[in-house]
Structure 1
Amino acid sequence: MLLPRRRLAGLLLASTVLSSALPLASPALAQQASVELSELSVEGSRSGTGRSGAGGNVAVSQDSAATSGGGGGPSGVTGYTARVSPTATKTNTPLLETPQSVTVLTREALNDRNVQTLNEAIGYVAGVSSNVFGFDPRFDSFYVRGFSLTYDGIFRDGLRQIASGLTVPRIEPYGIEAATILRGPASGLYGLGSPGGILDVTTKRPVFTRFGEVQLQVGNFDRYQGNFDIGGPVEGTDGTLAYRITGIK
């Protein structure tokens, strides 16, 4: 079909105008699409500065406040509510991702309750029966899920605390950083033990924040007790060494 000459000429003229207009619009579109980015400056600090302030290697609690009783160190148990615990898997796996029943009593929680014995520390943990033999200050005797942990279920820093007969060593709560109850069989990680679970206490570790505290307790029946806990980085080691001294009299 043949188009009239006037119509054909109009189509050619429109295509010519369209093709000539495109190059003129391209720079404008390119200028509109360009984005100018602001400069960002990032400052980094080397881990373990050795200063008393907050450094890369300073163990602080989860509210960013370094505390003398707040623990820290290699265990990773800090703050009022623990987020990780090396007891359940012997790794730093978060508790939310740990497929086991675990309860962690942190140093802050023990301080607020002012516990004097290990039985008092675990008295409110689900599945735990403390003071099962009545009040007996000689031993740390308790049950987890109906099984006794006195002789084969108490661990200190992942190592079994040996007990035999009436020779049952006691654990002083002031010297621990956290107490963790792992419910259920744990022989795959800790060997022969109680089917109800284990209790693993984490002792206080050195922190790279200088601190110190002294306590004096007075009670009934002429009870007097003094506690001290001091520590911090070792001078001249550039934040690579720290010390901590904890004692009770």
Structure 2
Amino acid sequence: MTTLIAKSRFRHTLRASAALAAILTANHAFAEEPTTRLSTIVVEGDGSQARGPVKGYVAKKSAAGSKADTLIKEIPQSVSVVGRAELDDRGVVNKIDEALRYTAGVAAEPFGTDPDTDWLYIRGFDATQTGMFFDGLNLFSYGFGGFQIDPFALERVDVLKGPASVLYGGGNAGGIVDLVRKRPTDQLVL
């Protein structure tokens, strides 16, 4: 029995030594190869992304109707965009339904002001539970439990009017609201 255990230990030691030798040999081989230096690649955007900031009040592009950087005039559905400048100028500081008060086809706050729920109807259909998206991802709401996003954290609010289940999955026929969050910039804000 002892010779069997001793042979087993010897085999494990032999395997471990062979593995260590292979690793050391491989590391030695890598150390001898010359180092390749790659040139620097600089990637710059033009700042007109569909999920980026809106310059002024009129957005030129949106990702709500195609999930791609598309001109609004090329989207086959009606799209309204409320940008950061408009949110700041109107003093929207509390809720999303306040941001959409003046958006065509959207009935915001149909039951009056409510501090804990964003009530939205798009083209007559309730979008409170089935039509809210955050950066293109569904904000699931059940019953009276829903998400509330602070408008200060948003760059823009895109409203896609009409059925959008082909792009976003099951939803209502009225449309969706896509909340686009702020992205970090390379400029220092004081």
TM-score normalised by the chain length of structure 1: 0.56
By percentage of residues, which structure has more helix?
Answer: 2
Give 3-state SS (helix, strand or coil) of 1:200's partner: strand
Partner residue of 2:37?
none
Which entry has the higher C-alpha Rg, 1 or 2?
A: 1
1:79 counterpart letter in structure 2: K
Q: Is the 8 A contact 2:50 2:68 kept in 1?
A: no
Kindly indicate whether residue 74 of structure 2 is the aligned counterpart of residue 97 of structure 1: yes
Distance across 1 between alignment mates of 2:132 and 2:78: 17
Kindly indicate whether residue 172 of structure 2 is the aligned counterpart of residue 169 of structure 1: no
Deviation at 1:47, TM superposition (A): 3.8
Q: Is the 8 A contact 2:52 2:155 kept in 1?
A: no
Alignment CA distance shift 1:138-1:187 (3 Å): same
1:122 alignment partner, one of 84, 100, 107 = 100
What pairs with 1:87-236 in structure 2 (closer than 5 Å)?
Answer: 87-116=64-93, 117-207=95-185, 209-213=186-190
Q: Is the 8 A contact 1:77 1:84 kept in 2?
A: no
Q: Deviations over 1:52-98 (max 9, x none)?
A: xxxx4474xxxxxxxxxxxx777244312211001111111111211
Give 3-state SS (helix, strand or coil) of 1:88's partner: coil
Distance across 2 between alignment mates of 1:115 and 1:154: 18
Distance across 2 between alignment mates of 1:77 and 1:95: 15
Q: Is the 8 A contact 2:49 2:61 kept in 1?
A: no
Give 3-state SS (helix, strand or coil) of 2:141's partner: coil
Distance across 2 between alignment mates of 1:73 and 1:88: 14
1:84 alignment partner, one of 49, 55, 61 = 61
Q: Identity over aligned residues, as a percent?
A: 39
Partner residue of 2:16?
none
Distance across 1 between alignment mates of 2:54 and 2:103: 19
Give 3-state SS (helix, strand or coil) of 1:90's partner: coil
Q: Deviations over 1:16-62 (max 9, x none)?
A: xxxxxxxxxxxxxxxxxxxxxxxxxxxxxx745xxxxxxx4474xxx
Partner residue of 1:75?
51
Q: How many residues align?
A: 148
Distance across 2 between alignment mates of 1:88 and 1:129: 20
Unaligned 5+ segments in structure 2 are 1-40
1:154 counterpart letter in structure 2: M
TM-score normalised by the chain length of structure 2: 0.72
Q: Is the 8 A contact 1:102 1:182 kept in 2?
A: yes
1:114 counterpart letter in structure 2: G
Alignment CA distance shift 1:58-1:182 (3 Å): closer
Give 3-state SS (helix, strand or coil) of 1:179's partner: strand
Distance across 1 between alignment mates of 2:45 and 2:173: 38
Deviation at 1:104, TM superposition (A): 0.7
Alignment CA distance shift 1:138-1:76 (3 Å): closer
Unaligned 5+ segments in structure 1 are 1-45, 49-55, 60-71, 214-249
Partner residue of 2:36?
none
Deviation at 1:167, TM superposition (A): 1.0
2:59 counterpart letter in structure 1: A
Deviation at 1:194, TM superposition (A): 1.1
Distance across 1 between alignment mates of 2:161 and 2:155: 20
